[in-house]
Structure 1
Amino acid sequence: MTGADLAVVGMACRFPGARDLGEYWRNLRSGVESISFFEEEDLRRNGVEQALLDRPDYVRAAPVLDDPSLFDAEFFGYSPNEAAMIDPQQRIFLECAWSALEHAGQDPGTQPGPVGVYGGAAINTYLLFSGLLSRFTGEYVRTLTASDKDFLSTRVSYKLDLTGPSLTVQTACSTSLVAVHLAAQSLHHGECDLALAGGVSVRIPHRAGYRHERGGILSGDGHCRPFDADADGTIFGSGAGVVVLKRLAEAVADGDTVHAVLKGSAVNNDGAEKVSYAAPSVHRQAAAVVEALADADVDPSTIGYVEAHGTGTRVGDPIEVEALTRAYREWTGDREYCLLGSVKGNLGHLDAAAGVAGLIKTVLALREAEIPASLHYTRANPDIDFADTPFSVCHALTPWRGSGPRRAAVNALGVGGTNAHLVLEQAPEPQPSGPSRPWQLLVLSAKTPSALNAATAALAADLADRPDAGLADAAHTLRIGRRPFRHRRVVVCTGSADAVSGLRTPDAGRAWTGDCPDGTANPVFLIPGQGAQRLRMGAVLSASEPVFRAAFDRCAGLFAAELGADLREIIGDERLASTGYIQPALFSVSYALAELWRSWGVRPAALLGHSIGELTAACLAGVFTLADAVAVVATRGRLTQGLPEGAMIEVGLTEADCQSYVDDDISVAGITGPTRCVLAGPPAAIRELGARLKVPVHPLGVSRAFHSAMVEPAVAPLLEKLSTCTLRPPEIPLVSGVSGTWITTGEATSPEYWAAQLRRPVRLRDGFRTLGVLNRPVLLEVGPGRTLCGLAHRQATTFTAVPSLAGEPEQAGMLAALGRLWLSGVPVDWRALAGDEQRRRVPLPGYPFERRRHWYEPDGSTAPAPVPPPPEETREEKACTEQARTPTEAAVIGVWQAVLGVRDIGVRDNFYDLGGHSVLIPDVVARLGATFQLDLPVLSLVEAPTVAELAERIEDVFRIRSELARSWR
């Protein structure tokens, strides 16, 4: 490995007979020829004239893709009309770029450095076939950006938000390999840290043949026979491929899956030393190979396979073999040691995608240590003397021969003389994944519910097929290598079989599904009070989570001086039943949990604590130092432990109703809901009161009557301790349990407040009401149990409330809570979750595009989609489907429908969310101007992007006109 080596970390393809990499490799291994031969009726249906069909030289064959009219326009934010205008080559290339990044486990939105795009396309035959040029004569810019090759790479950069160099490359048949070379140079020069490179070709009409000319470049029977004596030409077809490149040292350090190493590359041109513009040059082809070998610093005697351009022409193949031989002879005189092949025997010639088709084949061959057969080879072209060359044609699936690292090369030649050569090596052995948590969190998301279900099923099938695959690495890849979307699902599991079960039965208790609205949710930490404790709380987390353990140990160390005992032992034995130990233990567990949550990127927007939990919340907010908080909590625990025994019950009464039961013994200790309160006092008095109440009564598991008259003897000594503390204003908004509103600076810094807090009733109902004013609050109970979550769900305001430790195995409970927070839109630092674990990015099933037909026919029609829409909503929650309320809104909707091709538009829908963009604004403004007979400013649609806002803007213009007219009368 050298500093110049690059890694192929991701790939995606759509080739004839292969929708993805898996199908492509299976076809190559099995020797499948993916050329389609058409029946006459099929050809007529696709627009081939009968006169052409009747010609004896018409070859009824082509390498074709699955329907290229299909495209997931909604996923990429295109309106139906806009999608139908875009060259299908650019649409397919865009989808491949997305899939390649997913295969690499790279979310460009979290990439620290720029990502470059280098790609090329064949001629836009769709533009010619569909008549778009004449149909949109007056919309030059719109037609140009949808159709011209110049916009191939920048379209990807725009839609995927990639900020590195973005270049469209055009060198005819060598286009995509030249694109890879330029991407490599960009990485070497530091212009980007990740690069996509590839090419695409889609021939329209798609399912159509061609005329064969004797002695020409095209095959006479629809088969391509590279290097064979019977070769009489190639056959052009459709396909697309994209690879993702990264500097090898960085890929290894980042735990990327490296599929192969790019050692070196070179590009040159034949110049004028050939008989014609389209003719090849042995000398310059050989020079490109020599330059690439020198760049790679590789002796060609170590290369075991060359993927040749191999067009299957009588003249081109011998020249290419001669050029390769000349180059190799500068290093070695060995004969027939290196296998030679060409994927064109399988796929035909894919024009601008030909080079990347050969490259991906070679990368897969290096990875799998097998070389697929070069199809249709039986005996050598008479002009090639293989016995006098380093090469022999690979005519059967062959295990890789030789010792040392597997090495290969890929050759591409372009009409016009641009030659490209790449030298590859097998990937280094990956660093083994390290130990991981026994429980894992899988996260999935999609833009529609149906796509989410499809992604879930695909992941389940993949994990079922590969039960030995690293589940921790798969979970890590899903978390850091996928862009999050609105519709989300999380699964907590242990082991691959459990993961498959959770994915296939997502309602079985360890999976949650939810929709995440736009924008960021605000997490609120709820800190529980006494009664939430349980034996061994936090013990598993102490053993498995270093951040939790360090925080708990800090607390335990400080409490040891106060208690004369070690909390780490107390939480596991009967001493935890004592109030003097319960309160310090609860404080320590909640404090350590909060530190763990914050280390995972979950930072509270506000805090609310219940009773002793309010002191923990105040410490987390910065009111108390940790040392002062520990001293106060220990004192509070000792003082309350020394009080007489008491009892507390929750009753189904309003606060006003409870006042009639208050006396010298009975106190209102808390208001937990609109019709829920807590009463406290001596055990006998509380039992007697509970027996005579005719409302639901629930005894609380405590031994003292907190927040009642019975604790008054502890207030003064607690105040004395508090007076020794340095109190500061909260750095995080803190809800007062005394007032139920935001605590003031004066209250937070007052020892009297914190002393009285022991006696005053806890106003949780009002506290929840205060939290309800936050934008999208998500409540997280930071402590054992789910008491506060239960109380939150009783409030009039609907809250999302999530427990941290709710009875499940602690680690599973924490991961479930983390997943549910992410479902709700709370930001999470997934890299911090991995911590010091040695994790790898691994290939997983990519996004399941929901393609629809977007296509202009030559007669001017747009064919209806043959694919039915999924049963769920297809547009993200369809912002609003409210009908037009005024004639103006109806007119605006009509114009948008005409321009965008979207039928279901509501008054709150946003023009840009529907696929609109700046190029379409003049058309919309012009149509609205003609409809309403007014000169509408172009900026109107920028400033008023919804139907309702734009209609209101138009009506304002009419209103002003009317007022001016009246003033002139």
Structure 2
Amino acid sequence: MHPQTNKVPENAIAVIGMDCRFPGANDTRQFWKNLVSGTESITFFTDDELRGAGIHPETIADPTYVRAAGIMEDAELFDAAFFGYTPTEAICIDPQQCQFLQTCWHALEDAGYNPYTYPGAVAVFGGTRLSTYYVNYMCADLADYGTARFMQGHIGTDRDHLCTRVSYKLNLRGPAFNLQCACSTSLVSVHLACQSLLNGECDMALAGASGIDIPQEHGHFYQEGMIFSPDGHCRPYDAQAEGIVSGNGVGVVLLKRLEDALRDRDDIHAVILGTAINNDGNSKVAYSAPSLEGQSEVIAEALGVSGVDPATIAYVEGHGTGTYLGDPLEVEALNRIYSRNNPARGYCALGSVKSNVGHLEVAAGVASLIKAILSIKHARIAPTCHFNSPNPRIDFASTPFFVNKTAIDWPQGFSPRRAAVSSFGVGGTNAHLILEEAPQRESSRSAGAVANPLMVVSARSEKALKELAGRYGEFLAGQDADGLDLADFCHTTQEGREHHAVRLAVVGESLEELRSGLDAAMTHEEWTTTNTGDEHRPVFLFTGQGAQRSG
């Protein structure tokens, strides 16, 4: 519902969970800290690092070789046992697919849903890059093994199995399929997830993408007029913009029909009011070139579907490749639509996450979406890195847009906070999406619910339990817990989490008491756990007649 009118927008979709791992950030909290501080998370490699990754010495010595990329930390780490894989099976799976599976799990946990007990149908939509893990590591090994190992390697690295793997491992029964449309893949997956929900094909939907090169430590060759940057920095909309730098990452959002999310009292991060996708056709100079007509049409369609006046949108997270030709065309397409019957100028911020983490290719759209959602949630608009003066081919003064160099507050206006997200793929598949802030909701206590002061935490091992308890303590001590409802919080730990063998319970009448209880448990020398694994299953013995007699 609109925060001001309490009216539920028609065909709106709630974002109720999300998770990401991007350069410099292993979760959404760190991602937001990096964004709002204007942090660029690009790594510049040494000769030794490049040699260790197998880069040829002649390549390293080439003066046009730019040794930079956005690195995703610990991309090779995967909790195989947690998902029921043996080490032999896990080594046959592309890290892109491993990280997508883990991120889907975390997105469900963020929403407070246990996939093994949720009764509805959950869909999965996503995509990956070409598997460089298969090319660089698996091909030679598979030649020495038989048909069974070859099949394992094929299933573990082929794109076709990304989403169905998640459905199988998490017991999800909604539609599950991959899509591939280059840079717009993940935002198109969000569009398809929204359509699946509106068509009644599922009750919730996971959507996103995973793009990770193995090894990650590699650069690119610069050639004037091509898309790659000469110095490893991406400068969207700036006069010095000369191209992109590649990045690695994975991001997933969990979606639900807004009316269902309100009924189920879900924690709503933001609301998707409308989405649209199209293709340029051949109305452009080359296959990989952008199209003014294609971009304008998809923007107009998304606004039409959402029923939103563009004058009420205060932020656009652009595609923003930072190229001399692409940026002006993108702004012209936006201006053509956002200026219709709208004389206002310079009121709408325009930015691009590529200045922070590089171009994540298939995962670029979901990175932009998560950034826009976080901007709405925190009521702040993060700066675009490296923006000093505008591209001379962009006349911002005649458009509704401006690029902010520093973080700015986003005050509440007459309408809800609204943002838009663009993602355009090589080959011409374009996507545009309209977001709105989440509606205000009544707390459980004020709605008559009784607060349950019992918080439960569980994990597969004592070490993992201590780490998880520590993260809960950090959360409760941080600003993210401001305004958190005790009843909702404890209910989620009890009902919205899978309960594992090693467990801890804390009782408290307030969030502060829960945090203190966790701190005490963390520092207690005799850590107490209850192991409820298979080896300690209860057994009931019904003896029948004669039990009252000895022997």
Report matched runs for 1:156-171 at 5 Å.
156-171=166-181
Please report how far the alpha carbon of residue 96 of structure 1 lies from its aligned counterpart in structure 2 after TM superposition.
0.6
Tell me what 1:513 maps to: 529
The CA deviation string for residues 122-170 of structure 1, in whole angstroms up to 9 with x for no partner, is: 111111121x123213434222101111111111111111110001111
Change (3 A) 1:520 1:109: farther
The CA deviation string for residues 803-851 of structure 1, in whole angstroms up to 9 with x for no partner, is: xxxxxxxxxxxxxxxxxxxxxxxxxxxxxxxxxxxxxxxxxxxxxxxxx
Tell me what 1:404 maps to: 415
One-letter code aligned to 2:23:
P
1:443 to 451, 456, 474: 456
Please report how far the alpha carbon of residue 519 of structure 1 lies from its aligned counterpart in structure 2 after TM superposition.
9.5
**SS at 1:187's partner residue?**
helix
Please report how far the alpha carbon of residue 41 of structure 1 lies from its aligned counterpart in structure 2 after TM superposition.
2.1
**SS at 1:157's partner residue?**
helix
Tell me what 1:345 maps to: 355
1:490–1:513: 8 Å Cα contact kept in structure 2? no
1:107 to 101, 114, 120: 114
Report matched runs for 1:192-591 at 5 Å.
192-401=202-411, 402-434=413-445, 437=450, 440-465=453-478, 466=481, 469-506=484-521, 513-518=529-534
Q: Tell me which moved more, 379-388 or 363-372.
A: 379-388
**SS at 2:91's partner residue?**
helix
Change (3 A) 1:118 1:394: same
Change (3 A) 1:511 1:440: farther
Tell me what 1:136 maps to: 142
Change (3 A) 1:520 1:260: farther
**SS at 2:419's partner residue?**
strand
Q: 1 CA distance for matches of 2:190 and 2:292?
A: 23
**SS at 1:121's partner residue?**
coil
1:232–1:313: 8 Å Cα contact kept in structure 2? yes
Please report how far the alpha carbon of residue 359 of structure 1 lies from its aligned counterpart in structure 2 after TM superposition.
0.2
Q: 1 CA distance for matches of 2:543 and 2:294?
A: 74
1:117–1:153: 8 Å Cα contact kept in structure 2? yes
1:492–1:510: 8 Å Cα contact kept in structure 2? no
Greater relative CO, 1 or 2 (CA 8 Å, sep 6+): 2
Q: 2 CA distance for matches of 1:262 and 1:511?
A: 45
Tell me what 1:675 maps to: none
Please report how far the alpha carbon of residue 368 of structure 1 lies from its aligned counterpart in structure 2 after TM superposition.
0.7
Q: Tell me which moved more, 224-233 or 492-501.
A: 492-501
1:467–1:497: 8 Å Cα contact kept in structure 2? no
Q: 2 CA distance for matches of 1:511 and 1:73?
A: 26
1:491–1:511: 8 Å Cα contact kept in structure 2? no
Q: 2 CA distance for matches of 1:520 and 1:437?
A: 33
Q: 2 CA distance for matches of 1:317 and 1:440?
A: 53
1:59–1:209: 8 Å Cα contact kept in structure 2? yes
Please report how far the alpha carbon of residue 430 of structure 1 lies from its aligned counterpart in structure 2 after TM superposition.
2.0
One-letter code aligned to 1:417:
G
Please report how far the alpha carbon of residue 462 of structure 1 lies from its aligned counterpart in structure 2 after TM superposition.
2.0
Q: 2 CA distance for matches of 1:320 and 1:467?
A: 39
Tell me what 1:54 maps to: 61
**SS at 1:265's partner residue?**
strand
Which is helix-richer, 1 or 2?
A: 1
The CA deviation string for residues 783-812 of structure 1, in whole angstroms up to 9 with x for no partner, is: xxxxxxxxxxxxxxxxxxxxxxxxxxxxxx
Q: Tell me which moved more, 323-332 or 287-296.
A: 323-332
2:19–2:110: 8 Å Cα contact kept in structure 1? yes
One-letter code aligned to 1:454:
E
Determine if the alignment matches structure 1 residue 153 to structure 2 residue 168.
Answer: no
2:133 to 126, 133, 140: 126
The CA deviation string for residues 683-731 of structure 1, in whole angstroms up to 9 with x for no partner, is: xxxxxxxxxxxxxxxxxxxxxxxxxxxxxxxxxxxxxxxxxxxxxxxxx
Please report how far the alpha carbon of residue 184 of structure 1 lies from its aligned counterpart in structure 2 after TM superposition.
0.3
Q: 1 CA distance for matches of 2:438 and 2:102?
A: 26
1:229–1:379: 8 Å Cα contact kept in structure 2? yes
Could you tell me which runs of 5 or more consecutive residues in structure 1 were left unpaired when the two chains were aligned. 524-604, 607-732, 742-762, 770-969
1:113–1:193: 8 Å Cα contact kept in structure 2? yes
The CA deviation string for residues 864-893 of structure 1, in whole angstroms up to 9 with x for no partner, is: xxxxxxxxxxxxxxxxxxxxxxxxxxxxxx
Scaled by the length of structure 2, what TM-score is found? 0.92
One-letter code aligned to 1:478:
T
Determine if the alignment matches structure 1 residue 15 to structure 2 residue 15.
Answer: no
Say how many residue pairs are matched: 534
2:452–2:490: 8 Å Cα contact kept in structure 1? no
2:324–2:391: 8 Å Cα contact kept in structure 1? yes
One-letter code aligned to 2:440:
E
Could you tell me which runs of 5 or more consecutive residues in structure 2 were left unpaired when the two chains were aligned. 1-7
Q: 2 CA distance for matches of 1:107 and 1:331?
A: 47
**SS at 2:139's partner residue?**
helix
Please report how far the alpha carbon of residue 436 of structure 1 lies from its aligned counterpart in structure 2 after TM superposition.
5.7
Q: 2 CA distance for matches of 1:245 and 1:151?
A: 21
Change (3 A) 1:520 1:426: farther
Please report how far the alpha carbon of residue 39 of structure 1 lies from its aligned counterpart in structure 2 after TM superposition.
2.0
Identity of aligned residues (%): 47
Determine if the alignment matches structure 1 residue 44 to structure 2 residue 65.
Answer: no
**SS at 1:12's partner residue?**
strand
2:451–2:486: 8 Å Cα contact kept in structure 1? no
Scaled by the length of structure 1, what TM-score is found? 0.53
Please report how far the alpha carbon of residue 362 of structure 1 lies from its aligned counterpart in structure 2 after TM superposition.
0.1
Determine if the alignment matches structure 1 residue 88 to structure 2 residue 103.
Answer: no
One-letter code aligned to 1:135:
D
RMSD over aligned Cα atoms: 2.3
One-letter code aligned to 1:133:
C
**SS at 1:373's partner residue?**
coil
